[in-house]
Amino acid sequence: MNKGIAIYPGSFDPPTNGHLDLMERGAKIFEELVIAILRNSEKSPMFSVAERLEMLRALTGHLKNVRIDTFDGLMVEYAKSMQAVCILRGIRAISDYEYELQMALMNRKLEPTLETVFMMPADKYSYVSSRLVREVAQAGGPVKGLVPEIVEQKLREKIDPAYKFRDEPREIVPEIIGGREKKRKKRA
Protein backbone atom coordinates (compact mmCIF):
# COMPACT_ATOMS: atom_id res chain seq x y z
CA MET A 1 0.00 0.00 0.00
CA ASN A 2 1.28 3.45 -0.93
CA LYS A 3 1.82 5.90 1.89
CA GLY A 4 -0.21 9.07 1.71
CA ILE A 5 -3.45 10.48 0.43
CA ALA A 6 -4.64 10.19 -3.14
CA ILE A 7 -7.42 12.35 -4.56
CA TYR A 8 -9.89 10.94 -7.08
CA PRO A 9 -11.53 14.09 -8.48
CA GLY A 10 -14.51 14.18 -10.79
CA SER A 11 -18.08 15.22 -11.49
CA PHE A 12 -19.66 11.83 -10.65
CA ASP A 13 -22.97 12.94 -12.16
CA PRO A 14 -24.02 10.23 -11.50
CA PRO A 15 -21.47 7.76 -10.09
CA THR A 16 -21.25 4.68 -12.33
CA ASN A 17 -20.08 1.11 -11.81
CA GLY A 18 -16.88 2.15 -13.58
CA HIS A 19 -16.24 4.85 -10.95
CA LEU A 20 -16.96 2.40 -8.15
CA ASP A 21 -14.65 -0.20 -9.70
CA LEU A 22 -11.85 2.39 -9.80
CA MET A 23 -12.50 3.45 -6.20
CA GLU A 24 -12.20 -0.16 -5.05
CA ARG A 25 -8.94 -0.59 -6.96
CA GLY A 26 -7.59 2.74 -5.69
CA ALA A 27 -8.52 1.93 -2.09
CA LYS A 28 -6.31 -1.16 -2.30
CA ILE A 29 -3.18 0.69 -3.29
CA PHE A 30 -3.41 4.01 -1.43
CA GLU A 31 -3.36 4.54 2.29
CA GLU A 32 -6.28 6.94 2.00
CA LEU A 33 -8.41 7.80 -1.01
CA VAL A 34 -10.46 11.00 -1.09
CA ILE A 35 -13.22 11.12 -3.69
CA ALA A 36 -13.55 14.82 -4.49
CA ILE A 37 -16.66 16.13 -6.25
CA LEU A 38 -16.17 19.33 -8.22
CA ARG A 39 -18.65 21.93 -6.92
CA ASN A 40 -18.26 24.76 -9.40
CA SER A 41 -18.79 22.87 -12.64
CA GLU A 42 -20.02 25.01 -15.53
CA LYS A 43 -22.21 22.18 -16.69
CA SER A 44 -25.71 22.10 -15.28
CA PRO A 45 -25.66 18.81 -13.40
CA MET A 46 -28.47 16.29 -13.18
CA PHE A 47 -27.74 15.63 -9.49
CA SER A 48 -26.94 18.30 -6.93
CA VAL A 49 -23.62 18.11 -5.10
CA ALA A 50 -25.53 17.05 -1.96
CA GLU A 51 -27.20 14.20 -3.86
CA ARG A 52 -23.88 13.03 -5.30
CA LEU A 53 -22.27 13.21 -1.87
CA GLU A 54 -25.03 11.08 -0.41
CA MET A 55 -24.83 8.49 -3.20
CA LEU A 56 -21.04 8.26 -3.02
CA ARG A 57 -21.07 7.91 0.77
CA ALA A 58 -23.55 5.06 0.52
CA LEU A 59 -21.57 3.37 -2.26
CA THR A 60 -18.22 3.49 -0.50
CA GLY A 61 -19.37 2.66 3.04
CA HIS A 62 -17.54 -0.69 2.78
CA LEU A 63 -14.22 0.98 1.91
CA LYS A 64 -12.79 2.06 5.23
CA ASN A 65 -9.95 4.18 3.82
CA VAL A 66 -12.20 6.10 1.41
CA ARG A 67 -13.67 9.50 2.22
CA ILE A 68 -15.96 11.75 0.19
CA ASP A 69 -15.43 15.49 -0.09
CA THR A 70 -16.18 18.39 -2.43
CA PHE A 71 -13.91 21.05 -3.86
CA ASP A 72 -14.00 24.32 -5.70
CA GLY A 73 -11.46 26.06 -7.91
CA LEU A 74 -8.17 24.48 -8.91
CA MET A 75 -7.88 20.81 -8.14
CA VAL A 76 -4.14 21.01 -7.42
CA GLU A 77 -4.80 23.67 -4.77
CA TYR A 78 -7.36 21.43 -3.14
CA ALA A 79 -4.96 18.45 -3.36
CA LYS A 80 -2.21 20.51 -1.71
CA SER A 81 -4.57 21.62 1.06
CA MET A 82 -5.30 17.93 1.71
CA GLN A 83 -1.58 17.10 1.67
CA ALA A 84 -2.26 14.61 -1.08
CA VAL A 85 0.63 12.96 -2.85
CA CYS A 86 -1.19 12.05 -6.01
CA ILE A 87 -4.28 12.31 -8.17
CA LEU A 88 -6.09 9.22 -9.34
CA ARG A 89 -7.89 9.20 -12.67
CA GLY A 90 -9.43 6.41 -14.70
CA ILE A 91 -8.69 5.71 -18.34
CA ARG A 92 -11.22 3.52 -20.13
CA ALA A 93 -10.12 3.67 -23.72
CA ILE A 94 -7.65 5.46 -25.93
CA SER A 95 -10.28 8.16 -26.48
CA ASP A 96 -9.88 9.22 -22.83
CA TYR A 97 -6.14 9.46 -23.14
CA GLU A 98 -5.78 12.80 -24.91
CA TYR A 99 -7.95 14.74 -22.45
CA GLU A 100 -6.44 12.98 -19.45
CA LEU A 101 -2.89 13.57 -20.68
CA GLN A 102 -3.61 17.28 -21.21
CA MET A 103 -5.14 17.57 -17.77
CA ALA A 104 -2.31 15.64 -16.07
CA LEU A 105 0.33 17.78 -17.76
CA MET A 106 -1.50 21.01 -16.91
CA ASN A 107 -1.80 19.88 -13.31
CA ARG A 108 1.92 19.03 -13.29
CA LYS A 109 2.70 22.49 -14.65
CA LEU A 110 0.59 24.02 -11.87
CA GLU A 111 2.01 21.77 -9.15
CA PRO A 112 5.11 19.76 -10.14
CA THR A 113 5.21 17.75 -6.90
CA LEU A 114 1.80 16.19 -7.49
CA GLU A 115 1.74 13.00 -9.58
CA THR A 116 -1.23 11.73 -11.58
CA VAL A 117 -1.78 7.98 -11.48
CA PHE A 118 -3.99 6.37 -14.11
CA MET A 119 -5.85 3.14 -13.47
CA MET A 120 -8.13 1.12 -15.73
CA PRO A 121 -11.57 0.01 -14.62
CA ALA A 122 -12.73 -3.53 -15.46
CA ASP A 123 -13.09 -3.91 -19.22
CA LYS A 124 -16.84 -4.61 -18.86
CA TYR A 125 -17.21 -0.94 -17.88
CA SER A 126 -14.97 0.42 -20.62
CA TYR A 127 -17.91 2.01 -22.48
CA VAL A 128 -19.75 3.29 -19.40
CA SER A 129 -19.76 7.04 -18.77
CA SER A 130 -21.95 9.31 -16.65
CA ARG A 131 -22.95 11.23 -19.78
CA LEU A 132 -24.19 8.11 -21.60
CA VAL A 133 -25.94 6.83 -18.48
CA ARG A 134 -27.82 10.14 -18.20
CA GLU A 135 -28.68 10.02 -21.91
CA VAL A 136 -29.97 6.44 -21.80
CA ALA A 137 -31.96 7.00 -18.60
CA GLN A 138 -33.45 10.27 -19.86
CA ALA A 139 -34.60 8.52 -23.03
CA GLY A 140 -36.28 5.79 -21.00
CA GLY A 141 -33.71 3.04 -21.45
CA PRO A 142 -32.53 0.58 -18.81
CA VAL A 143 -29.33 1.33 -16.93
CA LYS A 144 -29.18 -1.84 -14.88
CA GLY A 145 -25.61 -3.09 -14.60
CA LEU A 146 -24.15 0.27 -15.60
CA VAL A 147 -24.71 2.00 -12.28
CA PRO A 148 -25.11 0.73 -8.71
CA GLU A 149 -28.70 -0.01 -7.65
CA ILE A 150 -29.03 3.07 -5.47
CA VAL A 151 -28.02 5.26 -8.39
CA GLU A 152 -30.51 3.46 -10.63
CA GLN A 153 -33.20 4.23 -8.07
CA LYS A 154 -32.17 7.90 -7.86
CA LEU A 155 -32.27 8.14 -11.66
CA ARG A 156 -35.82 6.80 -11.66
CA GLU A 157 -36.90 9.34 -9.09
CA LYS A 158 -35.06 12.18 -10.79
CA ILE A 159 -36.31 11.67 -14.31
CA ASP A 160 -39.98 11.24 -13.62
CA PRO A 161 -41.72 9.64 -10.68
CA ALA A 162 -44.24 8.18 -13.13
CA TYR A 163 -41.55 7.01 -15.50
CA LYS A 164 -40.86 3.31 -15.51
CA PHE A 165 -37.85 1.54 -16.87
CA ARG A 166 -38.39 -0.83 -19.76
CA ASP A 167 -36.96 -3.86 -18.06
CA GLU A 168 -39.49 -3.78 -15.25
CA PRO A 169 -42.18 -6.47 -15.30
CA ARG A 170 -45.33 -5.41 -17.11
CA GLU A 171 -48.75 -6.43 -16.02
CA ILE A 172 -51.71 -6.92 -18.35
CA VAL A 173 -54.76 -5.22 -16.85
CA PRO A 174 -58.24 -4.99 -18.30
CA GLU A 175 -59.41 -1.50 -19.18
CA ILE A 176 -63.03 -0.58 -19.92
CA ILE A 177 -63.27 1.80 -22.85
CA GLY A 178 -66.68 2.71 -24.24
CA GLY A 179 -68.28 -0.37 -22.70
CA ARG A 180 -65.77 -2.72 -24.31
CA GLU A 181 -63.11 -4.41 -22.27
CA LYS A 182 -59.78 -3.81 -23.81
CA LYS A 183 -56.48 -5.24 -22.71
CA ARG A 184 -53.60 -2.89 -22.37
CA LYS A 185 -50.11 -3.21 -21.06
CA LYS A 186 -49.62 -1.44 -17.81
CA ARG A 187 -46.07 -0.65 -16.83
CA ALA A 188 -45.53 -1.64 -13.24
The residue ranges that bind ligand PNS (CB under 6 A) are 9-11, 38, 74-75, 103, 106-107
Catalytic-residue membership of 41: no
Catalytic-residue membership of 19: yes
β-pair type (30-38, 66-71): parallel
**DSSP per position, 127-157:** T--HHHHHHHHHTT---BTTB-HHHHHHHHH
Helices (H), 68-184: 75-81, 94-110, 130-138, 149-159
**Minimum CB distance to ligand PNS, residue 107 (Å):** 5
Compare residues 91 and 164 and give the one whose CB is closer to ligand PNS: 91
| Candidate list 89, 92, 134, 154, residue with the active-site label | 92
Of 72, 62, 90, 73, the closest CA to residue 6 belongs to 90
Please give the residue whose beta carbon sits closest to ligand PNS in the complex. 10
Compare residues 43 and 185 and give the one whose CB is closer to ligand PNS: 43
| Candidate list 3, 43, 180, 185, residue with the active-site label | 43
Compare residues 111 and 164 and give the one whose CB is closer to ligand PNS: 111
**Minimum CB distance to ligand PNS, residue 134 (Å):** 12
**Minimum CB distance to ligand PNS, residue 64 (Å):** 24
| Candidate list 89, 130, 134, 154, residue with the active-site label | 130
Compare residues 34 and 186 and give the one whose CB is closer to ligand PNS: 34
Query: What separation in angstroms does the CA of 181 have from each of 37, 170, 175, 178, 187?
Result: 53, 19, 6, 8, 18
- Do residues 62 and 35 touch, judged by C-beta distance below 8 A? no
72/63 Cα distance (integer angstroms): 25
Provide the annotated active-site residues: 19, 43, 92, 130
